[in-house]
A and B are shown apart, each in its own frame.
Chain A
Amino acid sequence: MSKLIMFYARECPHCKAMMPHVEKLETQEKISFEKLEVWHNEKNADLMRSYRPVIAPNCGGQLRTPTFFNPETSDVLCGEVPYEKLKEWALKQK
C-alpha cells in the first residue's frame, strides 16, 4: 500500500468536514493517511509546494485544502467530497 497524504489546514471547514470520512476509512478499510497541516507548519507547507506541478493542475491551478495525494503515483483528489468518492480514490491506491 502506498503512503497516502492528506494536506489540510487547521481552520479550513472543508478539511474539518473530511476528517470523519478519513477516520472511517482508516478504521473500516485499514487505510492510513499521513495528515499534514500546511498553514501552521512550514515544513509541511514546503512539502506541499514541492508537489505543486502535479497537485495544482488537478485542483483548479492552486494548492487547495484538503488535498489527498499519493506521492508514488502522483494521484490527486482535492476538495470536500462524499465518503464514497474518497473511499474509491483511496482503494484505487492499494
Chain B
Amino acid sequence: MKKFWRCFICNDIHYGLNPPEICPTCLARNAYVEISSREAGKIMGAGGTTVTRVEFRRAIHEFTEKNEFEVNPDREKVEMLLDGLFANEKNHGLKYCPCRLASGDFAEDLKLVCPCNFFIHETYKNKKDGECWCGLFARRKK
C-alpha cells in the first residue's frame, strides 16, 4: 500500500511504496520520513495553489514534449475534454476522465485522473494511431 513520505530537509512530499533514496529537490540522501495523509494534505494544500486551464494546457504540452505521444491536434476535442476535466475537478474533487465514470472507490478512481496510465489502454497499446481512452493524448505522428 502506498504511503506518504516527507523530506525532513525541504518538505518535499512523496507518495509511494518506498521513499526516494535521494530527494529530487534538495538532493539530500535518506531524508524521507513516513507521515500521515493528513500531514501530507496540510503541507500540499498549504499554499492553496490551483492550476488554471491555461496552466494545465501548458503542463500537458510540456508533459508530452519528450514522449512518443502528443496532445491531440484536434483542438475542438481538446477544449471539450478540458471543459469536462475542470467540471469534474469542481464537482467531484479531481480531474477525472470525462469519458469514464468514477466508481466511488477512491483508490480505484485515482486511475481515472488525467493524465492516466493510458499506455495499457487497448485504444493506445500497440496501435499506430493510438489515443488514450478520451482522446486527449494521441500517439505522435512520425
Q: Which of A32-80 contact B (CB under 8 A)?
A: 38-40, 45, 48-49, 52, 60, 62-65
Is B91 in contact with A62, judged by CB distance below 8 angstroms?
Answer: no
Is B134 in contact with A49, judged by CB distance below 8 angstroms?
Answer: no
Is A39 in contact with B135, judged by CB distance below 8 angstroms?
Answer: no
Is B98 in contact with A63, judged by CB distance below 8 angstroms?
Answer: no
Distance A14 CA – B134 CA, assembled complex (angstroms): 7
**What is the number of residues of chain B that contact chain A, defined by CB distance less than 8 Å?**
24
Residue B21 at the A interface, CB < 8 A? Answer: no
Contact A9 to B103, CB < 8 A, known contacts A14-B135, A39-B98, A60-B122: no
- A68 → B minimal CB distance (Å): 14
Is B80 in contact with A13, judged by CB distance below 8 angstroms?
Answer: yes
**What is the number of residues of chain A that contact chain B, defined by CB distance less than 8 Å?**
21
**Residue numbers in B under 8 Å from A15 (CB-CB):** 99
Is B101 in contact with A13, judged by CB distance below 8 angstroms?
Answer: no
Distance A52 CA – B83 CA, assembled complex (angstroms): 26
Is A14 in contact with B121, judged by CB distance below 8 angstroms?
Answer: no
Max chain A CB contacts within 10 Å: which of B92, B99, B100? B99
Is B99 in contact with A12, judged by CB distance below 8 angstroms?
Answer: yes
User: 28 A-B pairs, CB-CB below 8 angstroms?
Assistant: A9-B98, A10-B84, A10-B98, A11-B81, A11-B83, A11-B84, A11-B87, A12-B134, A13-B77, A13-B99, A13-B135, A14-B134, A14-B135, A15-B99, A38-B101, A39-B87, A39-B98, A40-B91, A45-B101, A45-B102, A48-B101, A52-B103, A60-B121, A62-B112, A64-B99, A64-B100, A64-B133, A65-B100
Is A62 in contact with B80, judged by CB distance below 8 angstroms?
Answer: no
